Amino acid sequence: MTTTVEKPSSDAPSGGNVPLVELKNVGKSYGNITALKDICLRVHAGEVTGILGDNGAGKSTLIKIISGLHQQTDGELLVDGEPTKFGSPADALEKGIATVYQNLAVVPLMPVWRNFFLGQELRKKSFPFSLDADAMRATTLTELSKMGIDLPDVDVPIGSLSGGQKQCVAIARAVFFGARVLILDEPTAALGVKQSGVVLKYITAAKEAGFGVVFITHNPHHAHLVGDHFVLLNRGRQKLDCTYDEITLEHLTQQMAGGDELEALSHELRGGKN
Ligand SMILES: Nc1ncnc2c1ncn2[C@@H]1O[C@H](COP(=O)(O)OP(=O)(O)OP(=O)(O)O)[C@@H](O)[C@H]1O
Ligand SMILES: [Mg+2]
């Protein structure tokens, strides 16, 4: 099974080194709760940025800012080097930033192809009031087989697919509709080893095709398998920011698990015996 992803349809970002998306000292407060403070992040084309952090660390808040759902209260958001303010997720989509949420906005009982084109249906040229079901079926089949998902029938309800396949359908959909930055919110959280493998392979294929991928996860193993760059959030602060070459899986896991706090806990639980 080969996994291939076509190159982003929009033009390559200006110059090789200008990040697709950059956050400069971004902060977000909800009333007197500080959800994020001083976050600096660069998302480059052809790279996977892994965002790690425990519950309440600020991961969702961070992606809500990049995807246009919320606005930061401090700092700057730049797209292709230009300071930008998104009023809504539609503004972010227009710039090619697409988010695949964990709960996937799919209608489980509808066929795969209807979900693929949900809200952006193709219509017959001669009868603009009728849907072009044949074209949508054919496109869905082609787009999915490009990424190694060979469904015999795209008429089955999407709810009958495996978790990994559903994630891949959602990602393929974002790619097809012009994304160049893919934000994936815990795409492997609810999946077993094999299904996670399907999604991780697809993440690597998307990166190799030149997409900027932001991969949010609790799982340091998954992050380390596909990530080029890691950011660890802890209570809204950036605790770690390093490249693949700068950190081992053991260190990433230890940092993620709370590092020193975990050692102290182990010591306490074992009554100081180790
Ligand atoms: N709309 C909101 N109003 C008030 N506080 C919020 C809001 N959204 C998030 N927070 C607070 O901001 C902090 C970060 O939350 P966030 O949802 O970004 O964390 P997370 O890393 O995504 O956690 P999880 O892994 O549980 O999804 C938390 O303390 C949360 O209670
Ligand atoms: Mg979250």
- Closest protein CA for atom 29 of ligand 1: 56
Which CATH number belongs to the domain containing residue 101 in this structure? 3.40.50.300
CB 215, CB 41: distance < 8 Å: no
Q: What is the pLDDT of residues 182-201, one digit of tens each?
A: 999 888 887 888 888 888 98
Q: Is 38 a member of any domain? A: yes
What distance in angstroms lies between residue 56's CA and the mean position of ligand 1's atoms? 5
Is the distance from the beta carbon of residue 30 to the nearest atom of ligand 1 less than 6 Å?
A: yes
Q: Among residues of the chain, what percentage have pLDDT more than 70?
A: 90
Count of domains observed in the chain: 1
Please report which residue ranges of 67-181 form alpha helices under DSSP H.
89-94, 112-116, 133-146, 163-176
Q: What is the pLDDT of residues 122-135, one digit of tens each?
A: 998 888 788 899 99
Q: What is the pLDDT of residues 226-243, one digit of tens each?
A: 999 999 999 999 999 999
The parent domain of residue 29 ranges over 21-106+179-273
Q: Among residues of the chain, what percentage have pLDDT more than 90?
A: 51
Q: Is 242 a member of any domain? A: yes
Is the distance from the beta carbon of residue 55 to the nearest atom of ligand 1 less than 6 Å?
A: yes
Q: Is 113 a member of any domain? A: no
Mutate to test the pocket of ligand 1, among 30, 183, 214 (most ligand atoms within 8 A of CB): 30
Distances (CA, A) of 21 to 59, 109, 149, 152, 182: 16, 36, 29, 38, 11
What distance in angstroms lies between residue 60's CA and the mean position of ligand 1's atoms? 7
Q: Is 115 a member of any domain? A: no
Is the distance from the beta carbon of residue 234 to the nearest atom of ligand 1 less than 6 Å?
A: no
Is the distance from the beta carbon of residue 108 to the nearest atom of ligand 1 less than 6 Å?
A: no
Q: Is 122 a member of any domain? A: no
